Chain A
Amino acid sequence: MSPALPLLLAALLAGTGTYGVLARRHAVLMLIGVELLLGAAGLLLVTVGQFAPDPLASGAVLTLFVITIAAAEIVVALAVIMAMFRTRGDVDLTGEALSADEAGSTAGGTATGEATPAVEAPTGDAATEPETVAP
């Protein structure tokens, strides 16, 4: 078969994943973009391994390694997101919901409606939280 089809699909998946990482504010949805990028990398490895085989079987073996590392990555990333949700009450990556929340609490503690914090977090901790979500 022609190797162009899987290569084009890998390129399309990489572009879609890039869009997903750049265009999403929801932290878990940004992770979906990362998953698609990793899938594109795996498809590229498998394609090259199938069309240009080598004695070490590196195409398939490295894809298995990438899948395993992706599983480890997603577990840690989701744990960080859950900690962020517990501390801030939202999973917004822009921090706008957080500033609106702070403005609401300083104005008299009215609920903003967009984000309902599960825990009353100290503002110092909440302000340093966005730095920890970079993948």
Chain B
Amino acid sequence: MTSRDVLFAAVGLITAAAAVLAVTNRRVLHAGLWLVVALGGLAGCYLVLGAELVALVQLLVYVGAVVVLVLFALMLTRAGAGEVDTSVAHRWLAAAVGAGVTVLLGGTLVAAYGWESRAVAGASNEVIGAQIFGTWVWPFELLSLLLLAALVAAVAVATTGHGRQGRS
């Protein structure tokens, strides 16, 4: 039990609790704010695991951009929020499926990797940068195209209703 283990257990418990609250909270804005805590805690997990670059990108992209979008969407669609959860029987079924996924994945992964301690020896930031612009450069450039396409598509889809409103 190293200090890294203790740190990860602390950050991981915060992340797990916030994730559970994000999917069970009945108030939509609170669920969105718990998602902020869960994704921020996930960035902390990356930091404890030694992946600083991924942790910073997670903070910038998720907590900085994606969650702000989600919160704005929640506030804009507030008028249409009636019941946010499905029926009780449906939720119990969903909880059973979720618990099954957790047990199956956790059991398989722990059985594959084991409990014994290993050295954390990930790639340094220099290696990651060199690999992104070396081995992975074409997927990386393709991702910029994907982001552009997503941007244009989002504007096109989101303004569809406006056009319909203007015509009718």
Q: Does A4 contact B (CB under 8 A)?
A: yes
Tell me the bound Cα distance from A57 to B156 in angstroms: 37
Q: Which residue of A lies closest to B99 (CB)?
A: A15
Return the CB mask of B99-126 against A: 1 if under 8 Å, else 0: 1111111100110011111101111000
Identify A91's interface contact among B70, B81, B95, CB under 8 A: B81
Summarize A's interface: helix, strand, loop or mixed. helix
A79: chain B residues within 8 A (beta carbon): 153-155, 157-158
CA distance A35 to B70 in the complex (A): 10
Q: How far is the CA of A66 from the CA of B35 in the complex (A)?
A: 18
A25 near B85 with CB under 8 A, answer yes
Q: Measured between C-beta atoms, what is the minimum distance from B17 to chain A in Å?
A: 10
B69 and A75 contact, CB distance less than 8 A: yes
Which one of A13, A31, A80 has the greatest number of beta carbons of chain B within 10 Å? A13
CB distance B161 to A87 under 8 Å? yes
* Count of chain B residues with a beta carbon within 8 Å of a chain A beta carbon: 98
B165 touches A86 (CB 8 A): yes
Interface residue tally for chain A (C-beta within 8 Å): 86
B46 near A46 (CB under 8 angstroms)?
yes
* A residues near B58, Cβ cutoff 8 Å: 42, 67
- Complex contacts, A33 vs chain B, CB 8 Å: 23
* Chain A: minimal CB distance from B49 (Å): 5
Which A residues are in CB contact (< 8 Å) with B16? 9, 12-13, 16
Q: Most B CB atoms within 10 A — which of A1, A35, A71, A97?
A: A1
Looking across the interface, which residue of chain B has its beta carbon closest to that of A31?
Answer: B70
